[in-house]
Amino acid sequence: MAILEMLGFGTEGWGGVLLLAALMTIALTLAALVVGAAIGAGVAAAKLSRHRSARVLGDLYTTVFRGVPELLVIYLFYFGGSTLVTTVGQWFGAEGFIGVPPFVIGALAVGMISGAYQAEVYRAAVLAVSKGELEAARSIGMPRSMVLRRILIPQVLRFALPGIGNVWQLSLKDSALISVTGLAELLRTSQIAANSTHQYFVFFVAGGALYLVMTGLSNRVFNRAEAIVGRSFRRNFARN
């Protein structure tokens, strides 16, 4: 079979399957980024807390999840998560092994890793906000909720967006490790296609090309978002 036929969208081609797998990779990365954003915001708040115990816990989280290999974290969630769910299920009368869906495992595992990096991004963004503006807002009696909405959050978003883009790229690449759970993302599907046709070089190159396309498009999206946020911030600053 010709290479173009194998990569095509016909009945014997793998093109459509690879594109669906690429969409699965994007969906997994998005889910992991959302999980990581929630975790990262909480960890960043802990690292910026006045309480030493909270700062220690925040530092411990980022140290562990940035220091432990990503694949090990995935294995811990894959085997440990299913064991935990099975144990809890047995407490409520369930019988047999209860498996956690690979997508959920991937979103949680990559999200926990992403959260460690996002925490540092949010922490640095908060520290970059001018303390003078915050003190001025408090001095005129501006409510805390308004300070967050009008001053802190817009500037944190502006400073954090480039870092979030970098974390997205890391999570996109880490999502390939979820192939060990059997999830039909891009790397796993490339392996299946290569094993079925014995054209390993062709399909791994095709998978790599799709990763490069996703990376390039992601860069354009985040660059565009940074430009939009920057213009909005400058307009608001000039208006005030």
Q: What is the pLDDT of residue 132?
A: 75
Opening angle at CA 33, ends 30 and 36, nearest 5: 155
Tell me which of 90 and 120 has the higher pLDDT: 120
Q: What is the pLDDT of residue 121?
A: 96
Q: What is the pLDDT of residue 39?
A: 96
Structure tokens that stand for 9 in this block: 């969208």
In tens, the pLDDT along 184-226 reads 999 999 999 999 988 999 999 999 999 999 999 999 999 998 8
Torsion angle, CA of 173/216/40/24, rounded to 10 degrees? -60
What is the CA 229 to chain-centroid distance, rounded? Answer: 21
Tell me which of 236 and 154 has the higher pLDDT: 154
Q: Is 99 helix (H, G, I), strand (E, B) or coil?
A: coil
In tens, the pLDDT along 162-173 reads 999 999 999 999
Domains within the chain, CATH numbers bracketed = 3-239 (1.10.3720.10)
What is the value of pTM for the model shown? 0.88
**Taking Cα atoms as reference points, which of 151, 122, 114 lies closest to residue 136?**
151
**Taking Cα atoms as reference points, which of 75, 70, 81 lies closest to residue 111?**
70
Which element (helix H / strand E) includes 231? helix 200-239
Q: What is the pLDDT of residue 60?
A: 96
In tens, the pLDDT along 94-105 reads 777 777 889 999
CB 184 within 8 A of CB 27: no
Tell me which of 85 and 221 has the higher pLDDT: 221
What is the CA 222 to chain-centroid distance, rounded? Answer: 14
Tell me which range, 87-91, 149-153, 218-222, is most confidently predicted by mean pLDDT: 218-222
Does 228 have pLDDT greater than 90?
no
Does 237 have pLDDT greater than 70?
no
